[in-house]
Chain A
Amino acid sequence: MTVVHYVNQFFAGLGGEEAADHEPVRLDGPHGPGKALVAAGLPIDLTVACGDDRFALHEADCLETLLAWIDEAGGDVVVCGPSFGSGRYGYACGVLARELGRRGTPVVAAMTPDSPGVLASEGAAYIVPTTANVAGMRVAVPVVASLASRLAAGTLVRSAEEEGYLPRGLRVNVRSEALGAERAIELVLAKLGGDVRSEIEPPTDRVAPPDPLGDPSGALVALVTEAGCVPQGNPDRLPTRHANVWLRYPIGDRAELAPEDYLSVHAGFDTTEANRDPNRLVPLDAARALVEAGRIGRIHDEFFTTTGVDTPVAVSTRMGQEIGVELRNAGVDAVILTGT
């Protein structure tokens, strides 16, 4: 097991604020709080450090150096901090954790829950909450050491509540001692008694409807669908369900979508009728008629498509935002969104 520890200039013993521009360094063995981690049972093979200002001002370069050293050492797990309430140090810990997480390297960090490092980590690290100052070191170190040891060994890490780390925005499966039926009865009885509880926190994202289109006769209108409409042969392999991608296809000067050219790969409904007339998925023929009649201005020259089957709201939200950016950049005024 190879353990790498990241600290800032102060905890590496390089100096205080006057050394905040210190370039990245690597040091053998434990330094500063690393010694406490060793005492808690976590051997530290390598310490890497960077000045807080240096990291903030030269993030990409510092990351490249630090990640290269960690790769070279073959780190099985990386510990960042504890950074306590320090904003710059916490941010550096969070960013490093995020990048390591993207590479699949387990990371444990420790900081205050409101540290900018929590947001910067994007859920990639197990973050142990601490007090704002080093007084919390004694409490945090054993928790960090325990988590890091188990992550390096590939053994089970339990839920945030059981382990005491900050929720990473993930939901993991655990076996309950009670069946779902028993838990449902307990919850409904509690609710009847005025105690409303839920095993799932409600999503908070609510979308306000946009203002009505002023004058549609000059509007550029785009066609967007979740009906899984793609060119015959599904050349880009749009998933038939659980899609997490959207695609776009040129419309050009087509008057309509011909059945020999398009089909639906949607796994959520009987596509027989739709495949006889793909315009019922992407209503190009009707939109062209509206243009012809002067009711709308123009049709955007490509349509956007995905399959809306078993698609979680969060994935739909992301795809909608991505498509929205494309449409806005193209100057689209309005969208006809067909659902199935």
Chain B
Amino acid sequence: MESVLPKSLQEALAALESEPDATLLAGGTDIMVEVNLAGLRPAHVIGLRRIDELRQLEGRRIGSGVTYRRLENGEHVALAQLSRTVGSPQIRNAGTIGGNLGTASPAGDALPFLAALDAEVELASAKATRVMRWDEFIVGVKKNSRQPGELITAAILPEHVPQRQAFAKIGVRSAMVISTVSACLFRDDDGTTTIALGSVAPIPLRPRKAEAMISAEKSPSQAALAEFARLVSEEVSPITDHRSTEGYRRYASGVLARRLLERCL
């Protein structure tokens, strides 16, 4: 195995240009599980945790190397809430938002936040930088659009982020748990509501009909809230696995959606 431990983005991109298929190592919290338990043996590794540019956290821009620990104490309320639920303190000190994007798991904790905002993902190579919307980046279960030679450099939030935002994640125990269902909701002053759910589809799911319906309700009644929940339940497409059942996930999606909205009214 060959490893490079660059101290600048430029160095990293140059290394990546020579080895476009190199394994990118930030916090290691996903990759090292593969190494330890699934026999992953990367031939080339580029370690990213010394690169200051990737750790910038400023306004709209969240560097891919920003750890959950920093996000826990950051300015975006829902992002801070979800960050607190990631793994454990040990995991949060090492795990990065870039890693969450790179792994692109259906249960990735940060992904519903980015999806509900229609955030963008910035990728850089030695030759160019490009930006794409989250659902152009995350395209399937653990599948993303990063090309060989590219590195995720940042998540970019929209200029306007509604102040009223909330996150919730269901798990069977109180820490270190992969979500059964998770959700992140934003409600703007004019009633525009977006919500994204995790663990209920191959990629974070935006229930558009539900969003449209509740965005039109300036002061939703109990009936409207129930209808919102019902539509969310209809639009998610969860599976049954060893963690939970399709039926429970579908039902719980609606409950979470309604509760998040209630928090934001």
Q: Answer yes or no: are A and B bound together in one complex.
A: no
